[in-house]
Structure 1
């Protein structure tokens, strides 16, 4: 039988327990060898009594390998195993990466620059408006928005990205064929239909158990370059995500709030501890080293300004992520002097800005 089936079968048995999975896989020569090993061969597992090992192997005995194999062939979703070339590189580098991911959508969406927006399920109107606005403007800047599809801030973030026809990714605490909460069924299919993705480390059919959500938070932050907390009480899942993000070396940001509101205590405390305060989308982009998103009322550069043929050509090659002068010369096919002249006029017209090292990014 395909080695991938044994890998996925162990993941099925130990879904959400990635550290235990890696302990077993690293001990045996292969997942297949582990699958057929005797009970005495598992006594090396740390913190488990013999009865726990017996229960583990009972679950192994009850697992239908043919059903597991069918998931690899199911065209309704993709299965990304850890050693699959499509598995996101940034997630591989966290402390306890999921051995497998189930996904609806294009696996390529899990690469590149993404920002996670997280917060309270019981967000205020202010929190919901801020989350939706930030997500919409990030999507307009072609930044992918990641959240957990929960009620409140998560839902507002996904909706904001969709409203700008941007890409948003939902990381679930249940199977990708399970809608939770139920009222987000339309949102879930909206995410997929709009070119986004739904991801989970939990196998198809897995219910939304309470312990799944803290576990999935490390995936939200692991897939992101930065985590922005909008509203959160002092003890909340959003703060768990923020602290996990710090451990993973991700940028942590927070939206300041009313000091009399309990839901502002979480982000306000994060700011006191050194998180980047977010009062506009520009703060997020600048925190990522991408410069200003755009001047809200200035239009979109060439749409409202008269640009020469060369200026239009150069401007079309510049995105919100800085690009070097050398790359612009190479891609435009223009002489260096003409590129530099075009960049000078684009700066004067407010379309682009220059960073140290002759790097340029668009502002509109």
Structure 2
């Protein structure tokens, strides 16, 4: 199949069957940029609620730039990959300071923004400014691997370079077709050429698709080489005092960067030492372990309840705060911590391990 046939089929399919009612399908570069950052490694269904909430709080790039990073990270809580939220804030400031509040139109300039890579920059430029640059996200890699029979893990540099070249060659010649083409190849991968059980009968490329013709849709794209996922362990302290619970701000980098969370018991400390510095009270039996899986490792959390009868001044530093139990889960905390706090609030602060 030659490039112009691929583009023509995709454009025709997108007009009839593609998605046309997403809230970020507008001409505003700010809203397009925001959606593209949120959609990195995240499905549309998960992004919709967060996107609407962000637009309500930060209707334009100036409002986002003027907010504190804590406000942004808190609003992002639950969407994961929190470095995206910090980069979002940095990029908004950069747009206001270096580009006078207007998003640059070229992919070269867009890539300068924190959190914007080659594919994201191309998507923003295509949707907002009809620029002819290819995107290569996970959905596009899957479509290209199957339609053109490309073997090899797409994360390997050689295979990725081959896909980039192919993606560039397939672009429509007319710039005005770029928004529809870019949306179409995204939609085709997300709704038809899916990872499991692709709907080949509805695919406009089925007559030319090598994977479909040869019964290889289950093996293409080639899976990432298997690698053992390491396990990490953490003890999180649920320190309760008079109906309130102690939360601490996480460091800006690392997992859950910048979020409020339950204090973590360091490897060099034990619960008695922590309690001695925090106040007087009782260490109760630990709750059952909780498993939380990240991209590159799994985390086993041990929730350790402490019932404090009195506080020491050290527990009132600038990095910590006491919140009512019924408010804590909504304070912008990581997903597993949110579930722990909701469970605790539902039991009116009872800290026994058998709940």
Under TM normalisation by the shorter chain, which class is it? under 0.3
- Structure 2 length-normalised TM: 0.24
Task: Indicate the structure whose relative CO is greater, using CA pairs within 8 Å and at least 6 residues apart.
Answer: 2
- Structure 1 length-normalised TM: 0.23
